[in-house]
Amino acid sequence: MRHLCFLLSLIYSSMALSFGFSGVWIGSGEGQTPTTSFNCSEVEMRIHIEEDKLILRGGHYNCDSLSAEYPYSVFTIKDGVLFERDQAVGTIDEQTILLESPKDGFEMTLNLYNGSLYFNEAWVDGEDYLVLGAELKRIAN
């Protein structure tokens, strides 16, 4: 019976993650560097979650002064920790995805709240930085 309860809790947690983050998310936001603030007219994230994988199917942001694309990436989920190859690169739970590379000064956070996905990305190098934030809405599963 304990084994069955454990298996059911694993299945439920995988389903909760999948239903929460999976989809195509689009929105807009703002960015800031030490010298300027700017609008980001379009931010998109394409996310798919399987039983033990977070798949970033791509995405991008278009801001007044810069733009970038996110490549297709696959992360393995083990006990709430995200791995790329064998390197721990972040965490995931029912409400938050955190991807980070401290040596590169990079951190991305995706937070689910009231049907929106709140995107925050930061690059910090000494006194130089780039910070982006946006509210995204799911447009497709």
Q: Is the pLDDT of residue 14 over 80?
A: no
What pLDDT, in 10s, does the model give residues 65-124? Answer: 899 999 999 999 999 999 999 999 999 999 999 999 999 999 999 999 999 999 999 999
Tell me how far apart the alpha carbons of residues 8 and 112 are, in angstroms, rounded to a whole number: 23
C-alpha of 126 from chain center: 24
Tokens matching residue 48: 């798919």
Tell me how far apart the alpha carbons of residues 108 and 116 are, in angstroms, rounded to a whole number: 16
Check if the beta carbon of residue 94 is closer than 8 Å to that of residue 117.
Answer: no
Set out the domains of the chain in order of their start, with CATH numbers.
2-140 (2.40.128.20)
* pLDDT, position 51: 86
Residues 6+ apart with CB under 8 A from 131: 31, 32, 33, 120, 121, 122, 123
pTM across the whole model: 0.84
State mean pLDDT over 60-67: 94
How far from 115 is each of 13, 75, 86, 109, CA to CA, in Å? 18, 24, 32, 16
